[in-house]
Each structure stands twice: as structure tokens, then as C-alpha cells.
Amino acid sequence: MKDFILLVLGVGLLHTASAVTHSMKYFYTGSSEVSNFPEFVVVGMVDGVQMVHYDSNSQRAVPKQDWMTRHTDTQYWERNTGIFMNSQQIFKVDINTLKQRFNQSGGVHTLMEMYGCEWDEDTGVTEVFKQFGYDGEDFVAFDLKTKTWIAPTPQAVITKHKWDNDMSYNEYWKNYLTQTCIEWLKKYLDYGKSTLKRTVPSSVSLLQKTPSSPVTCHATGFYPSGVMVSWQKEGQNHHEDVEHGETLHNDDGTFQKSTHLTVTPEEWKNNKYQCVVQVAGIKEDFIKVLTESEIQTNWGKTNRGANDPNTIGSIAMEPVIGVAVALLVIVVIVVVGVVIWRKMKSEKGFVPTSTSDTDSENSWKGFQKT
């Protein structure tokens, strides 16, 4: 579940920090028998920032950023509300169809569609994706090169054959993903440029619980999310006994990431170890040399209060609490019950005032055999 959530947040990026990669993604999630959750949810994101939301409880598409409000009108949101309501009904039918294929009766079940595109601002390289998952497992995915569908499970073969035989449908998706999606991604970046194209430097700390614990290099407060947090020994990249954490959201819209180094005090006192943080779009590296004075720790400070800023508890837990809240919100928004749907990069996008790239929903075919 943790890996899936990080993907939803758009923070599982493996691009180098020197490249500024932008993305537009949409997540459609249908569910059955999930208590206290909408049976259908749409979340749209640009660069990991949610810009639109729809759910079956409110049955309204709404902007989640001021810049979306400024660049769209009432007709735009009414149009997309209608599209999402139509998708809601189709997803409901499709979940019932898939239950039959998997020989299931009741219980919690989820269907998710994710599609969209990425664009490297420096190189112009693009990447696209359109995939479906059912109950936390890959179900069917679009192969752009062949304009056919990949079915990783026998229950998806019916859908694969149905969609493979519709060449106009597949040609439409190729054009949408490679052209329309990229065009609108660039438009949204322009709409929200004051937020989406900003750069914020990182704050870097070295943390350690006890003298025998790994030393953590904690980078936080940076934007965009593209970052490399690495350790060097005597000026050379050091990979031995290094564990990299995930890039996580802070509740103020920035990001954080930690990398852990397992090394004895004798070793780092006799050799020069340093943590190097590189943030996408920022030329300057942020460096912390591992010395005793730089390490923030708890040991020998048992009499300090829980709110003492010099304790590792207040240093480490404060951002983590914010992340936990953010993750909980995302879980609620996206839907419970999806179990680590890996490799899915996803989603789709919107368009400005008079039209919408959600027009693609009009060509949605569903999983029914006919």
C-alpha cells in the first residue's frame, strides 16, 4: 500500500536531479462495498499537485488550485462533471463484469485507471502511459509502440482482444497520449507557473538515534520533487551500506527525502564522509560533512522534554506527522483496498474553458464482452 500511495502522490520518480520532468496524471478509481468511501473518485494532478477532484458523493468536478479556477469557467466544470458521472456508471458496470470473470461474489473490490504523460523540460523527451488495475493487480495496459493491449492475467484477454480489434480506438489513444496530453500539460504548467515552476532549496540535517544507529541525511523543504540525496567518502560516491528512502510530501507542498548510512564512529571519524543533496532546477548542491558537531541526536539527552528542538524526536517526527496526514488524505481520496499496484505511471488531463481532454471518456469502451 505504501508504494502505491507514493505513486499516487507522484513522488516515486527516478529521474536524475538535473532533469526537470513534468507530469500530468489522472486517477479514476471505482470500488464496491468499501464502507464510508465514495464508490467512484477522480483525482487529477500536475507535477504531483492535485488540480481537480470528483467523487460520486458530491457528483461535482471541482478545481483544487486557484490557477485552475482562474483559467476555466462554469461551462468547463459542468462539462467535465457530466463526463465523470458517465465514467462513474461505466466503472460500476465494469466492476460487476470483472467480479464475474474472477468468479467473485461480494466483498471489497477496486478498479483503477491511470493514464497521462511526462515531459522532460530540458531534453524534450516524453513518456506516456495508460493502464488499468483490478484489486491491486495489473489488469490491462496500452502498448504505444504496437497500438495493442497487454493482458498480464487470463481474465483480461477478453478485453485485450476486444480493444486490439478497434484500430480507430487505439489510434485515438496514441494521438491523445503523445500529442494532446503533452500540449495540455504545457498549458497547465503555464497556468500554474508561479507554483509549479518554482524552485525551493533544501534544508539538510544529519540525524542519528544512538551512536550505533545509521546516520540519516534528511533533506526537506525542497521543490520540485526531483532530488538526489547521496553519500560521498573522500570525495567519491559511496554506495556501500547506504539505504535510500522515498521522496515524500510535506504538508506545505514541498518534499522531503532521507538516505541512511550505516558506518561506525571510528570509520567516519577517520575518513571524510559527506551528504550531497541535488535538487532539480537548482545548480547549487547542498553538502553536509559528517562530523560530531553536525549530528543531531537524542543520546545523552534523556532529560529533555518531548518538545525540545534539539531532540531527534522533534526533528524527525514533525515532518513525518505532516506526511502521515497527507498520506491519509490521499488514501481517502484515492480509495482503500488497492494493494501495491507497481509500475503504473499514469493518467489523464483536462483542457481549458471551452473544451476538455476528458473528451477521451466518450470513447471509453468498458470491459464488457460486447
What does the pLDDT read at residue 42? 97
Is residue 47 within 8 A of residue 129, CB to CB? The reply is: no
Please check the confidence at residue 296 and state whether its pLDDT lies above 80.
Answer: yes
Question: Cell 529521474, residue?
Answer: 15
**Predicted local distance difference test score (pLDDT) of residue 299:** 66
**254 located within any domain:** yes
Query: Are residues 290 and 347 both part of a single domain?
Result: no
- In the chain, DSSP assigns E strands to 21-32, 40-46, 49-55, 62-63, 109-120, 126-134, 137-143, 148-150, 203-208, 215-222, 227-233, 236-238, 242-244, 248-249, 255-261, 273-279, 286-289, 295-297
pTM score above 0.75: no
Q: Answer yes or no: is 369 within a domain.
A: no
pLDDT band at 325 (very low <50, low <70, confident <90, very high): very low
Domain count, the chain: 2
Does 26 reside within a domain?
yes
What mean pLDDT do residues 345-361 have? 40
Q: Are 294 and 288 in contact (CB under 8 A)?
A: yes
Do 31 and 171 share a domain, yes or no? yes
Which range marks the domain in which residue 245 is found?
203-327
- Is residue 370 one of the residues assigned to a domain? no
Q: Give me the percent of the chain exceeding a pLDDT of 70.
A: 75
Domain assignment present for 13: yes
Name the pLDDT band for 186 (thresholds 50, 70, 90): very high
91 pLDDT band, cuts 50/70/90, is: very high
CATH number at residue 278: 2.60.40.10
Whether 259 shows a pLDDT value over 70: the answer reads: yes
**Stretch 304-324: mean pLDDT:** 37
What is the chain's mean pLDDT, rounded?
81
Least confident of 181-190, 192-201, 221-230, 346-355: 346-355
CA dihedral over 340, 189, 276, 256, signed as positive or negative:
negative
Q: Are residues 84 and 150 in the same domain?
A: yes
Query: Would strands 295-297 and 203-208 be described as parallel, antiparallel, or unpaired?
Result: parallel
Q: Are residues 106 and 166 in the same domain?
A: yes
The pLDDT value given to residue 105:
87
We report the CATH number of the domain holding residue 154 as 3.30.500.10
> Does 177 reside within a domain?
yes
167-175 helix and 157-164 helix, angle to the nearest 10 degrees: 90
pLDDT of residue 194 exceeding 70: yes
CA distance 348 to 358: 8
Both 220 and 302 in one domain: the answer is yes
- Inter-residue contact 83 to 361 (CB < 8 Å): yes
Distance of CA 37 to the CA centre of its chain: 21
Residues 314, 272: one domain?
A: yes
Check residue 300 and give its pLDDT.
55
102 and 208 co-located in one domain: no
> Are residue 285 and residue 191 in the same domain, yes or no?
no
The model's pLDDT over 98-129, given as tens digits with 9 standing for 90+, comes to 999 999 988 999 999 999 999 998 889 999 99
Q: Encode 34-80 in three state secondary structure.
A: CCCCCCEEEEEEECCEEEEEEECCCCCCEECCHHHHHCCCHHHHHHH
177 and 222 part of one domain? no
User: Which residue(s) pair with 115 in the sheet?
Assistant: 26, 130
User: Where residue 322 falls among pLDDT bands split at 50, 70, 90?
Assistant: very low
Same domain, 18 and 140: yes
Clarify whether residues 270 and 126 are in a common domain.
no
pLDDT recorded at residue 253:
84
